[in-house]
Structure 1
Amino acid sequence: MSKKTRQAPQEEHADESWLIPYADLMTLLLALFIVLYGMSATDAKKFEEMSEAFSGVLTGGISVLDQNALSSNSKNFNSDNLIPKDSSEGLMRKTELMRREQENLEGLKKRLDNYIKENGLTTQLDTQLNHSRLMITISDNALFDSGDAEVKPEARKLAKAISAMLEQFPDYEVVVSGHTDNIPISTSQFPSNWDLSSGRALNFMKILLLNDKLDPKKFSSTGQGEYHPVASNKTSEGRAKNRRVEVSIIRKYQEESKTGIPAINMTSP
């Protein structure tokens, strides 16, 4: 009789599907320890940020890297009104402010020009409006005696008139600067043209500030000496133009070129 061949019973294998996520976890942990080892020479702040980043990945939360990305994106917005600084609305607002400022400065210039004409001061005063400021230029002989820094009594009327017109610009910076010609001066009171120009600017500013409606914090005076001439010092006419006091109302809003540098001219002087 033929013998029946018995087949050996197949061995049952345990379910090994758990090895896949286990291997993935081990890989992540290995990568984590390699990174931590490589960062052992970095500073504590970077170590903490990287640790939190990995923690966010493993827990499904928002990591420091994600927070930094959100923070970076938020920098493009105005925190006051959540409107992008470079948005069309922001540009329109700035354009409107510049337009209003231009109208106000043009109005003040017109008032000053009328005052100059009505009082016969066209040879002693001048106004210029450009991209950065409205500047009132006053000849030194309208304000001071030769070599002196005391404002003439009759010139105080002019200073008071200018100060009254400045009342409509209470938030604007005003700079009073003194200038001389290049002829040296050396007296006990004024050892140099620096001293003379500084004294003249300061004294004229003090008279402007007798008007208690003006804020002294917005005013400053400076002496420029002989170093910013507007005419040649080789002639008496040129030297007379260089001896002057300038009262400048500084613009708040200035037109910028495409490069971000203030444009050379917004309006003609």
Structure 2
Amino acid sequence: MKRKKQGNVKKGSPEWMATYSDLVTLLLCFFAVLFSMSSIDAEKFQAFINSFNNSVNMFMGAETVGKGTAIGNGINQLPDFEIMYYEHLNMDPEVEGDNLEELVQEFKDFIAENGLEDQIAVEAKDNYIKLQLIDDTILFDTGQAELKVDAIGILEILSKELIKYRENQIKIEGHTDNIPINTEKYPSNWYLSSARAISVAEYLIEEQGFDPKKISADGRGEYSPIVSNDTHEGRAKNRRVEIYIYVDEFDEILAE
């Protein structure tokens, strides 16, 4: 009986893997085009990049394209892809912090021009601007959540600058000191702080025309103090309302 001759066994990866690699590359390019035509959240895009960078290399010994690394190493297959992407959109990921500081300075100038330095503090944090309404005695009566006349006046002035951010997500946070409250209307500081945040949110929506879809209210009670509650002064600082403006599109706001 004649034995069949065994064919030559090709070394390296199977031939189908090259075709599959090409398909993956085409899909990657397709998604890149989709990204270039859409409005991108920089943080989400960075997470997208990282997910590819951290992927397991499935194609050990696979061919590379250009000067990139192996196809199985995901996004790194395209050299300097992230830099190319931002350049294509005329975006610089390292400039965002400077733009945010510029927006904060505009708020500070506005607050100073209107004599509200003792009532409102402003600072930049990551991807948002935080406005802190400092003196709660101007905002609310003790144990109450209805805005006082002076508080309405402050919010009315502040809204003239805040309206620039009407398309951004805005969160209102209410905070209290650690003195317990237990009334029929407000069983705890959580209820009171939430009601105060809602009062500010309702004013912005009902009196200043902000989109309720862009506004949220959150009560933190006594659980996020900025200083110790051991003194009268410390407790006064902890009783506050904070407005968080989440800023994603800097250029549009700066152009206004």
Q: Which of 239, 246, 249 is the matching residue for 1:243? A: 239
Asked whether 1:79 is paired with 2:33, we answer yes
* 1:1-269 pair list within 5 angstroms: 65-77=17-29, 78-80=32-34, 81=36, 86-92=81-87, 93=89, 95-96=91-92, 99=95, 102-103=98-99, 105-139=100-134, 140-210=136-206, 214-252=210-248
1:229-265 C-alpha deviation (Å, 9 max, x unpaired): 10110011111110000001113279xxxxxxxxxxx
In 2, the alpha carbon distance for the partners of 1:246 and 1:252 equals 19
In 2, the alpha carbon distance for the partners of 1:191 and 1:108 equals 39
SS in structure 2 at match of 1:79: helix
Q: CA deviation at 1:110?
A: 3.3
Q: Is the 8 A contact 1:176 1:245 kept in 2?
A: yes
In 1, the alpha carbon distance for the partners of 2:166 and 2:94 equals 17
In 1, the alpha carbon distance for the partners of 2:194 and 2:214 equals 18
Letter in 2 for 1:249: I
Q: Is the 8 A contact 2:159 2:208 kept in 1?
A: no
Q: Is the 8 A contact 2:181 2:189 kept in 1?
A: yes
* Residues matched between the structures, number: 200
Change (3 A) 1:221 1:76: same
What CA RMSD, in Å, does the superposition of the two structures yield over aligned residues? 3.4
Aligned match of 2:50: none
Unaligned ranges ≥5, structure 1: 1-18, 29-53, 58-62, 255-269
Q: Is the 8 A contact 1:98 1:253 kept in 2?
A: no
- Larger mean CA deviation between 65-74 and 135-144 belongs to 65-74
- Larger mean CA deviation between 71-80 and 83-92 belongs to 83-92
Change (3 A) 1:111 1:155: farther
Q: Which has the larger radius of gyration?
A: 1
% identity of equivalent residues: 32
- Larger mean CA deviation between 111-120 and 148-157 belongs to 111-120
SS in structure 2 at match of 1:175: strand
In 1, the alpha carbon distance for the partners of 2:200 and 2:165 equals 18
Q: Is the 8 A contact 1:163 1:211 kept in 2?
A: no
Change (3 A) 1:97 1:194: same
Change (3 A) 1:171 1:160: same
In 2, the alpha carbon distance for the partners of 1:114 and 1:79 equals 41
In 1, the alpha carbon distance for the partners of 2:153 and 2:105 equals 19
Q: Is the 8 A contact 1:135 1:248 kept in 2?
A: yes
Unaligned ranges ≥5, structure 2: 9-13, 38-74, 251-256
Q: CA deviation at 1:190?
A: 0.5
Q: Is the 8 A contact 1:160 1:207 kept in 2?
A: no
